[in-house]
Amino acid sequence: MSLTLYQHPLASFCHKVLIALYENGTAFESHLVDLGDPDARAGFCELWPLGKMPVLHDHARGRTVPETTVVIEYLQQHYPGARPLLPHDQDECLDVRLWDRFFDLYVQAPVQKIVIDRIRPPASRDPHGVAEARATLATAYDMLEPRLGERRWACGEDFSLADCAAAPALFYAGIVAPFPPGHTHLAAYFERLVARPSVQRTLAEARPYFSMFPFVDAMPERFLRGGAP
């Protein structure tokens, strides 16, 4: 097996790459990284000293590839499947990259801020930073609502890199900050995402670990239970 993905099934950025792999049926070996284990963390940091998951290692080409967006572009270049996740047209590609950045930076990042704050000792919590993160999420939801009224997927009719980023970002965002009731297009897009087989498979693999999620108390029963979305 040429490709090894260093990942953890609960981690949202790992979901982004898993969805891309499953969309194209790309063969890979999974190496579960427990960053709570000091030896496992030290070993993983030898691959990528920043210690951020996932990281792809390609044995055939002798390359270690960190950063989810780069990993997915790498897969498309060197292990293309039937379903390209970046368009060939360069202008369309810019749009896909923009919305990929949007979901990573303005949905996933605020969610991480809110989640990490919950597990900090009370004295080191950051209420101001959490309020800023919640405001960013609210703006992101407002930006997505009209856009998703006009498109099936984040950038049009084709499922893309941007949707790989959107699925885990909105999955965890919707738990820590539920979509406002009037955001029907956003809610409908989320349902399309979770109905996608690649996303269902990723969530099914995460399910045994959901009890470790700091906001598990707010997770909808249907995700805890599994089965049809």
Minimum distance, C-beta of residue 136 to ligand GSH, in the bound complex (Å)? 16
Distance CA 192, CA 186 (A): 10
Query: At closest approach, how far in Å is the CB of 141 from ligand GSH?
Result: 20
Least Å distance, CB 146 to ligand GSH, is 27
- Residue 30: phi, psi to the nearest 5? -100, 130
Tell the smallest beta-carbon distance from residue 15 to ligand GSH (Å).
Answer: 8
Quick one: 36 or 227, whose CB is closer to ligand GSH? 36
In whole angstroms, what is the distance from residue 213 CA to residue 141 CA? 22
Q: Which two tokens stand for residue 154?
A: 């984040």
144/213 Cα distance (integer angstroms): 26
Q: How far is CA 109 from the centre of its chain?
A: 10
Reply yes or no: is the peptide bond before residue 66 cis, omega within 30 of 0: no
Q: How far apart are CA 219 and CA 229, in angstroms?
A: 13
* Residue 9 C-beta-side C-alpha neighbours within 13 Å: 16
Residue nearer to ligand GSH on the CB measure, 145 or 170: 170
| Least distance (Å) between residue 121 CB and ligand GSH | 17
| Nearest residue (CB) to ligand GSH, 67 versus 145 | 67
State the chain's maximal CA–CA distance in angstroms: 51
* DSSP tag of 179: P
The site for ligand GSH (CB under 6 A) is made up of: 11-13, 35, 51-53, 67-68, 104
Q: 72 vs 183, which CB is nearer to ligand GSH?
A: 72
Q: Residue 150 half-sphere exposure, CB side, CA atoms within 13 Å?
A: 5
In Å, what is the CA distance from 13 to each residue of 20, 86, 136, 165?
A: 11, 18, 19, 8
Least distance to ligand GSH, CB of residue 32, Å: 13
- Based on CB atoms, which residue is closest to ligand GSH, 52 or 207? 52
- Name which of 133 and 183 has its Cβ closer to ligand GSH: 133
The minimum distance between CB 52 and ligand GSH, in angstroms, equals 4
By beta-carbon proximity to ligand GSH, the closer residue of 58 and 145 is 58
